[in-house]
Amino acid sequence: MTISTEEVEIRKKAIFDSMSQRNQKAILKKGYPQWDPFEEPKDPIDMRNHKSQRTTQKLIREFLQQCRQEGYSNEYASGAFNLCLGIVNGDEKSKGMYDFSCWYQQVLKQDQL
């Protein structure tokens, strides 16, 4: 069953008229002709962005279970989680912190030789 363009416009106007003034204002600001109240919902984002196909929650849980820190603090866990999120999401700041940590570990190894 196809709906005519005229019917679509009538339904669109009915939806628009039933909205609050605030929402109407937002639509008018973006452009009423471009607004499509009937568009299909977008696919949900895939939360498994990491190469390992794990969520950040699963990664951090595994890390904290295997970490060498016994009785780690909330601050420690929070820092690890923030870095995990940043690395998985490709954040440049987090990448810099990770690269520095790896470099610093190598410096410490070299200094002990």
Torsion of CA 91, 74, 72, 80, to 10 degrees: 0
Q: Is 93 helix (H, G, I), strand (E, B) or coil?
A: helix
> For residue 8, what are its two tokens?
């679509």
0.75 cut: is pTM over it? no
* Residue 69 confidence (pLDDT): 65
pLDDT in tens, 59-73: 899 998 888 767 788
Quote the CA–CA distance of 105 and 30 in Å, as a whole number: 51
pLDDT in tens, 21-70: 999 999 999 899 999 888 877 666 555 556 777 888 888 999 988 887 67
> For residue 53, what are its two tokens?
């196909």
Torsion of CA 32, 33, 38, 43, to 10 degrees: -90
pLDDT in tens, 72-111: 888 999 999 999 989 888 899 999 999 999 999 999 999 8
* Residue 14 confidence (pLDDT): 92
Q: Of 25 and 113, which is predicted with more confidence?
A: 25
From first CA to last CA, the distance across the chain in angstroms is 78
Closest CA to 86 of 76, 98, 103: 98
> For residue 1, what are its two tokens?
């069953």
